[in-house]
Amino acid sequence: MSTALTVSALIFIVLVSYISLPVSCRYDPNWDSLDKRPLPSWYDEAKFGIFIHWGVFSVPGFGSEWFWYNWQSKKDKAFVDFMKRNYPPGFTYADFASQFTAEFYDPDHWADIIESSGAKYIVLVSKHLEGFTNWPSNVSFNWNSMDVGPKRDLVGELATAIRKKKDIHFGLYHALVEWFNPLYLKDKENNFKTRYFPVDKTIPELYEL
């Protein structure tokens, strides 16, 4: 299995667990244990839900949410050329954050549209692989939607709006990897024998959510 698919699988496990597991349930970190968790009836019957990718990568609006990876890590020619055509030399990915203003964001209107669509659940990206959190995280200093860009709690506002609806479940996607976070890179350098990133970054964020 490729690294990208492995990461996606891990994220999916966390996502489904986050949406559906009762707080009292406890499972061990192995497949035999995880496979025993029941599928909630509402999820099995929902059939249709909406998944929203939204973050700093929305500013260039080119390719996909993997914009940074394709531009800076993979050096994909299409992405490199896009940046050369549209942005000045020395422009960094972090520079996109101040342009991510979400000025037309109306969570109540979003909730009305989602309800009208017939969707039974909504999943919002709380944090993608770039590490930018769409809520005011205490462990994502100056790289979150309250400190820079929208200056709003995007996650909290949509959660409040959706929970006013009777028949829509609210869930969050939360990436377990951050491409350029120093803690993650340190663990990677140590062949993941250290756990600086999950202990000091991931777990605190999940508690916040």
Determine the pLDDT at residue 141. Answer: 87
How does residue 102 score in pLDDT terms, banded at 50, 70 and 90? very high
Determine the pLDDT at residue 10. Answer: 44
Helix orientation angle between 154-162 and 107-117, rounded to the nearest 10 degrees? 50
Higher pLDDT, 141 or 2: 141
Q: Which helix or strand (DSSP H or E) is residue 66 part of?
A: none
* Closest by Cα among 179, 203, 133, 198 to 4: 179
Domains in the chain, CATH or no CATH each: 51-177 (3.20.20.80)
Determine the pLDDT at residue 24. Answer: 59
The pLDDT tens digits for 172-199 are 999 999 999 999 999 999 999 999 999 9
Q: What is the pTM of this model?
A: 0.84
Residue 153, pLDDT > 50, answer yes
Higher pLDDT, 59 or 19: 59
Between CA 42 and CA 104 the distance in angstroms is 32
Higher pLDDT, 32 or 11: 32
* Closest by Cα among 35, 56, 170, 115 to 66: 56
Mean pLDDT score, 151-161:
98
The pLDDT tens digits for 83-99 are 999 999 999 999 999 99
Between CA 101 and CA 55 the distance in angstroms is 10
Residue 2, pLDDT > 50, answer no
Mean pLDDT taken over the chain? 91
Residue 35, pLDDT > 50, answer yes
